[in-house]
Structures are given as C-alpha cells and as structure tokens.
Amino acid sequence: MDNCELVPQQDMCYFITVGLPRQTAQKLLRTLPGQMQACAAENKSVAKHLPPTHLTFYVITAMCSCDLFRPGGEPPEDEEKRLRKKYEDRGWRSAKIERALADHARVRDTRRKSFIGIRPDLGRWLADVASRSGTDVYVLVHMYSGDQNTEEVVLRGQEMVTPASPNFAAQILEDRLIKIAGASTI
C-alpha cells in the first residue's frame, strides 16, 4: 500500500472504498491494476457497516477516484425534458435548443459507451479478489465534500452481487454498500 496524498478537503471528489479481509488485504492490494493505488480509509461511518474482519481502503488514481467511477445519471428522456425547459426558460430559440440537446446527447452517449459505474478493470479486479479470497469483499462509492475520513456517509442501501452477475461493474451505484459474494458465500 502506498503512502497516499488525497485530494484537499474542500474539493468535491468521488472516493471508492473497498473492504477487504484483514488477513489478506495487503497481498490483494498489491495486485491492483494499472495506475491505481490504495490508501488506508479511516471513515468510521463507513467501517461500521463492514464486519470487523475487514479493513477499508480508498482505491484512487492520482488523488481521488473520479477516474474510476461514472454515475449512470437520469434516463435520457427525463434529462432532455429538464434541459429543454432550462433552455426555454433562458429564452433560447427552438433551433438553438435543438442543437444544444443534440450536442449534449452525443457527449452523453460517448460517456456511456466507455463505462457506467466503476471502471471495468477495477470491476474485474474486485470480482477476482472476491473469488480468490474466498470471502466477501465490500465496495462503496461516495462523493465527498469534506474530509474523507471524518465526513458522515449515509448509505442509500445495501445489496449483494456475485462476480458472475451480468454487467457487474455497472451495478455499483453511489452511496450503496455493495457486498461482492466471495467463493465461500455463493
């Protein structure tokens, strides 16, 4: 595990917290893909939801996890209605609104083609870790607006997935504690 420098406290950034079995955490973290690194996570409001047999770590690139997570966002139809109203309220002409909506849709579609949820290489790593460790692995994505270790994180739910679940990486949503079932619990 690296000595990490996290993003300054006043910035809003995503952080992905993983909970790994205490006895194998260091070994598993050495297998993180690419430029990812792990930093000790000491947020008690997150750790209290995990078994005492697990340690928590932030998985980051650079100083946060923003490159590793993309929210799914609202359905395209709702997004278009919201943007159309916003542009109409600004007094834009119809042709300008249509161009802006088309440009926005192109950008949205390009982003969604790359990935939604956690980045696929991190998803594969989590699935592999759950399988190899033989125990459950936990993951939580949260947008922090303060100190990562002291900000109160309120979960919007918990669920269990298996590494074999279709579209596994896209199932990981913000503020939901995901338990990835290890080989011994499947």
Looking at every residue in the chain, the average pLDDT score rounds to 85
Return the pLDDT at 4: 72
Question: Rg (Cα) of the chain, in Å, rounded?
Answer: 19
Q: In whole angstroms, what is the distance from residue 127 CA to residue 67 CA?
A: 19
In contact, 143 and 174? CB cutoff 8 Å: yes
Q: Is the pLDDT of residue 2 over 70?
A: no
Tell me, yes or no, whether 85 and 174 share the same domain.
Answer: no
Return the pLDDT at 112: 62
Average pLDDT (41-63) is 94
Tell me, yes or no, whether 90 and 176 share the same domain.
Answer: no
Tell me, yes or no, whether 133 and 43 share the same domain.
Answer: yes
Return the pLDDT at 115: 80
Tell me, yes or no, whether 85 and 134 share the same domain.
Answer: no
Last residue of a domain, one of 56, 91, 114: 114
Residue 50 CB: number of other CB atoms within 10 A?
A: 19
Last residue of a domain, one of 60, 87, 114: 114
Return the pLDDT at 6: 72
Q: In whole angstroms, what is the distance from residue 143 CA to residue 154 CA?
A: 11
* Residue 93 lies inside a defined structural domain of this protein: yes
* Residue 186 lies inside a defined structural domain of this protein: no
Q: How far is the first Cα of the chain from the last one, in angstroms, to the nearest whole number?
A: 29
Tell me, yes or no, whether 126 and 46 share the same domain.
Answer: yes
* Residue 2 lies inside a defined structural domain of this protein: no
pTM of the predicted protein model = 0.77
Total of domains in the chain: 2
Beta strands in 27-175 (DSSP E): 37-40, 54-60, 69-70, 117-118, 137-144, 157-161
Return the pLDDT at 8: 63
Q: Tokens 């298996």 — which residue?
A: 162
143 CB-contact burial (10 Å; exposed 0-12 / middle 13-18 / buried 19+): middle
Tell me, yes or no, whether 121 and 156 share the same domain.
Answer: yes
Q: In whole angstroms, what is the distance from residue 184 CA to residue 2 CA?
A: 30
The pLDDT tens digits for 90-104 are 898 999 999 988 887
